[in-house]
Amino acid sequence: MNADLSPPALYVRTVALRSDTDSLVRHLPAGAPLAWLTGEDGLVAWGRAARLDLPGRPDAEDPTDTSRFTDAARWTEALAAKAAVEDEVGLPGTGLVTFGTFTFTPSSDGSALVVPRVLVGRREGRTWLTTVTDAPGVHPPELMYPTPEPRPIGPLAWSEGSLGREEWKSVVADTVDRIRTSDMDKAVLARDAVAEADSAIDVRTLLERLRRRFPSCFTFSVDGMVGATPELLLRLEGDRFTSLVLAGTRPRGEDPASDGRLAEDLMSSAKDVEEHGLAVDSLRTALAPLSEELSVPAWPHLLQLANVQHLATRAHARLSPGVSALDAVAALHPTAAVGGTPTAAAMRLIAEVEGMDRVGYAGPVGWLDGAGNAEWGIALRSARVEGARARLFAGCGIVAGSVPESEAAETESKFRVMREALTDPAG
């Protein structure tokens, strides 16, 4: 089944609002919110003015097939061409904004683009409201939706996902053997876990908890994918491109001394430095044909988050004329940090041994506007929330030096982000 790539004609208006310091989440009504937040700034939105669903291609022979990105780019270009936009603010994230989530593999259903009816944004002290209608001079009824207080999650029943911990460790051990006896350098394996609540999970509660705990991450909610990712796939403002590569992980220590030892161990680990280098090389290879300038540091720095610390490399580029955000997304996904090296071989191994459909986990998630500005992350530290059910995901890079027990412990550290967000405080 092919997606309908004929978008509607929309009328878009952005106006300035009086700035305040309240959380943007407070603007959201209950339901299925859209959000992209970093600390106090970002975008929140609701309603649906236009939507594109991109079905999976189960017969796709190439695990790196990019047709879903190509179709999305055609749709957003047509959408922007047909839209009448009145933008009094003129910042990235104003005017016509589309949120998106793409599946990890081309064979999976779940890739979608959504244009909201109402959006509230904040950037560097400036706040704005965008409304989207089907006719000029009217207001969307979604503008007046009530915004009750976010609800607690309530009691949860936890269960293992597609593979239990011991089964997954066995898969890791087999993968290490295959890497040692093949041309494959790395494969990223993930596992899942399931939480069931007594009633529908209020995504606004998760958003507020995640953005408070991880203010430097990108807290997102797009079409059921919810999380706080530290990994910026790309930021595009004009032709200026930024990406943040993360690969190589340790938990945070219980005190400054143990935290420092863990950081030193990570920075000096041959296994983690090798894994990180593969991810950086894949970024450089993907970006070179799209860029007129490309700057990638020779050595990673340490990025410390509330629960884990990573090896990190921030790359900058100036994209060639005509290269769009979705062109760059298509070229970059899947990065070696979430797929492996060589890419096609690693993707085939993942499909063979992981025992689950990742859906949007480790796929691109983010937004773009009609002027070409965009922010896209990789949907890590995340869950797929559907009604009262949340399916959590966590993964790690497997190389020749990987130890199954250590890799399982790393996934537990990464699960903790969403476990804690789903757990109501005691008392």
Residues classed as catalytic: 186, 231
Residue 259, classified by CB atoms within 10 Å of its CB into exposed (0-12), middle (13-18) or buried (19+), is: middle
Spatial distance between the Cα atoms of 142 and 47, rounded to a whole number of angstroms: 6
Helix boundaries (H) for 21-151: 67-82
Residue 32, classified by CB atoms within 10 Å of its CB into exposed (0-12), middle (13-18) or buried (19+), is: middle
Spatial distance between the Cα atoms of 104 and 395, rounded to a whole number of angstroms: 13
Judged by DSSP in three states, 420 sits in helix
Residues found in the chain: 427
Spatial distance between the Cα atoms of 293 and 300, rounded to a whole number of angstroms: 20
Angle at alpha carbon of residue 362, lines to 233 and 45, rounded to 5°: 70
- Say if residues 384 and 360 touch (Cβ distance below 8 Å): yes
Sign, Cα dihedral of 342, 347, 353, 358:
positive
The amino acid present at 256, given as its one-letter code, is P
Helix boundaries (H) for 197-353: 203-213, 256-268, 270-287, 325-332, 343-353
Within 13 Å and on the Cβ side, how many CA atoms surround 373? 12
Q: Identify the CA nearest to 153 among candidates 198, 95, 104, 214.
A: 198
Q: 33 preceded by cis ω (within 30°)?
A: no
Angle at alpha carbon of residue 68, lines to 62 and 69, rounded to 5°: 110
Q: List Cβ neighbours of 409 (8 Å cut-off, separation of 6 or more).
A: 251
E strand or H helix at 384, and its extent? strand 382-386
Q: The tokens of 166 are what?
A: 């011991």
Angle at alpha carbon of residue 37, lines to 213 and 147, rounded to 5°: 95
Judged by DSSP in three states, 143 sits in helix
Residue 415's CB is within 10 A of a number of other CB atoms, namely 19
